[in-house]
Amino acid sequence: MTKTSVVIGMSGGVDSSVAAFLLKDTHTIQGMFMKNWNAHDEHCPAEQDYQDARQVAETLGIPISAINFVDQYWQKVFQTCLDEFAKGKTPNPDILCNKEIKFTCFLDHAISHGAEKIATGHYANVENRNGVYTLRRAADSNKDQTYFLYRLNQNQLSYCLFPLGDISKPKVRLIAKQQGFDNASKKDSTGICFIGKQAFKPFLSQFFLAKPGPIISDQGENLGQHDGLMFYTLGQRKGLNIGGKANAEELPWYVIDKDLKNNTLIVGQGHEHPSLLHPSLICSDVHWIAGKMPEINKALTAKIRYRQSDQACKVLDLGNGTLQVDFAQHQWAITPGQSIVFYQGEICLGGAIIDKAQGAS
């Protein structure tokens, strides 16, 4: 029986390494390391990651090569994020990277070089029912990454294998240790991918001419100066440098709004500040994995951030690719530029980009 030819994206991390191991005996596989950022950047661990990926490939006895997507990443992910930051929004580069690089550039390259399938170390599942592909949650709910994959379409999913969909992270690390992978205990990557280990504000300062402006309380008091609106996001608490105020409650300050026209950062006290709580939102740039809006006749839930628990909601199609989403409970810090992702049980239906919060707080 002829084995399916698979190219697996190997990042040097433990997840993609174990995914390669799980496919090795049942598929003809080769590894591919994607260089998406300038490897000469002192904060970018690309060279070490590639060495880790090579060690795993050598241990498994599979070929591995590297491909450079730096230009594509800069144009399709990084520049897009810069444009969104400049508008005062908070984009999600991981979602963009999956859409534009891993499941477009990488997929196209692999297929054009003879691969029948591609694989990654994402925690997710794909199911084919009568020619319709669905993206389903991973068995390990703590690691499920369907939130980051909601922009995938039917064609992309038809080529995808996610070997980690049915196993837990602890088991992944155990397998890596048993196989003698050097990265068995390697920490998971966190934060914004292209920033690496360096601080967010100094990194972005390389690409923006910062425009400091006033920090104003929700009561109209001037509390200080911000460094540039692009450095802040709704619900942010740290880095505001607001001291204690006479006759004020001893509650922490949070970013509750951005006034782009007047270059003003607006803050309020308390995690449950009314301006951080809204019953609905407007979103656009809608993407449905099935290729069209599903018939929503069952309970629908959504997430407005990755680590959030599922939130019951109703969706109203406003036309022109815009939706209104009404939640059963008020949502905290609905953030323009972030993604809202919709679920029906275990199935990820798709999602959209948040434009604004709506409704009385």
Which residues form the catalytic set?
A: 97, 193
Residue 354, phi-psi category: left (phi > 0), alpha (psi -120 to 50), beta (remainder): beta
Structure token digits, residue 245? 């105020």
Using alpha carbons, list the distances in angstroms from residue 313 to 217, 330, 331, 353. Answer: 31, 10, 11, 16
CA pair distance 11, 121, nearest whole angstrom: 9
**Is beta strand 339-344 parallel, antiparallel or unpaired with respect to 347-358?**
antiparallel
String of b and e for 247-270 (b: at least 16 CB within 10 Å)?
eeeeeebbbbbbeeeeebbbbbbe
Find how far residue 295's CA is from the centre of its chain. Answer: 26
Nearest to 282 by CA among 227, 203, 335: 335
Kindly give, in sequence order, each residue whose CB lies less than 8 Å from that of residue 46, ignoring residues fewer than 6 positions away.
35, 37, 39
Cross-strand pairs, 303: 341
Q: Which of 246, 188, 207 is nearest to 14 (CA)?
A: 188
Q: Can you name the residues that pair with 315 across neighbouring β-strands? A: 325
